[in-house]
Structures are given as structure tokens and as C-alpha cells.
Chain A
Amino acid sequence: NAGVTQTPKFRVLKTGQSMTLLCAQDMNHEYMYWYRQDPGMGLRLIHYSVGEGTTAKGEVPDGYNVSRLKKQNFLLGLESAAPSQTSVYFCASSSSLSRSYEQYFGPGTRLTVT
């Protein structure tokens, strides 16, 4: 099993450009998440999904959109990138939202917006 994979690993964008980050998991997990991690800020939840076809906003959703058309994939889109979106983006998945669960993270995407 590959676990959680993310594409691409690195990307540099100019302000105003758009891009899509792809997350894929092969563990048949229902729940998937997108986080961003910035120095001194910790992990912050952008959007999450509790199943195929469903998405919900997290703590910092502005400037991002997501889609979960297939259970194994969770896409994060930036329509018009801004320098404030320079960050490391992590995707994660879990089998449930029950009390004892584990989130499995992908290796991250390092995005720089100039």
C-alpha cells in the first residue's frame, strides 16, 4: 500500500496563477483532510470531506476550493494564488471520526507563491 500520496511535491507559482493539488489514498478511508503548515502556526485545517461527494470548510478555507469526486481522491484548488498561500500543504485521511482514530498524512506539497 502506498498510503497517502500527494502530487506535486514542490511548486512555484506567480501571484494570480491557479493550480490543483492532488491527494490520493489507497486505504479505503472515508475521511480526508487538507491542512496547511506555516512556521509558528502549526497545522491548520483548510477543508475536509466525510465521504465521496461531500466537503466542508475547516479553519482557514478562504482562497481554496476542494472536490471529492472519488472516494480515494481529494483535490485542493487555488483559483488565484497569493503570496500568503506560500506554505506546506498536507493531505490526511482517516477511517472514521470516532474517538480513537488515526490520521495518516501524505508527504506534503511545498508551495511558493511569488
Chain B
Amino acid sequence: RKEVEQDPGPFNVPEGATVAFNCTYSNSASQSFFWYRQDCRKEPKLLMSVYSSGNEDGRFTAQLNRASQYISLLIRDSKLSDSATYLCVVNRDDKIIFGKGTRLHILP
């Protein structure tokens, strides 16, 4: 089983809709969690960290469920500019593991 798993998508979502996707991790010793965004043919960039209590940044909400070992990303009122690949990143013992990413297409 891979240490970090994501549904590759693509998720095709109409503009203005809400979309959510999850990322599961296999090692319960994982310590910190992040979502990165990668636009087509560009470098990954940090979108947000994920805290146990959940955190929100504008239209984006990230949640961590340690019991079930997954993190989630919710995007409300989606915009065309949200189209990208979203990478789940897990930190364990100073080792960084990237998920393969979930592709999101926002449709006009």
C-alpha cells in the first residue's frame, strides 16, 4: 500500500460548485500535512497546511482525520482559476512524501 494515496481524477466541476477530495495516508506516525497546488507545466506551490482542528483560508477548507488517517480539501464557490492538480503532502520523521495529485477541472 502506498504511503500517500489520492484519487487522480479528473474531477470535472461546474463553476460555482463545491468540490471536495481526500487523501489517505498509511503511516499513523505521520506528523504534519499540507496541500500543494500545481498548475499545468508549472512548479508546485504550497496552498495550505492542515491542522488537527481544521483550518480555512477563504474558499478553501482543510481537515485532518487522524483516526481514519485522511486529510481533505474543500473548495467552495469554485472558480475557473481553481483548475489545477492538488497534491497531498505528508511529513513523517523529516521525510516528505508527495501524493500523485488530484486533477481538478472547473467548467464554465
A residues adjacent to B (C-beta < 8 A): 35, 40-43, 45, 90, 97, 99-100, 102-103, 105-108
Contact = CB atoms under 8 A, between A and B. Distances in A.
Q: Do most interface residues of chain A lie in helix, strand or loop, or is the interface mixed?
A: loop
Contacts of A105: 43-45
7 contacts: A40-B100, A45-B96, A90-B44, A99-B32, A103-B96, A105-B44, A107-B43
Interface in B38-60: 42-46, 49
B98 interface: yes
State which size class the interface on B falls in: 10 to 19
A106 to B, nearest CB: 6
Nearest to B8: A40
B54 to A, nearest CB: 16
Contacts of A90: 43-44
Query: In this complex, which of B34, B42, B87, B98 has the most chain A Cβ atoms within 10 angstroms of its Cβ?
Result: B98
A35 B96 CA distance: 11
A25 B32 CA distance: 25
Contacts of A42: 87, 98-101
Interface in B75-103: 87, 91, 94, 96, 98-101
B87 A43 contact: yes
Contacts of B46: 102-103
Interface string B24-45: 0000000110100000001111
Contacts of A43: 44, 87, 98
Contacts of B87: 42-43
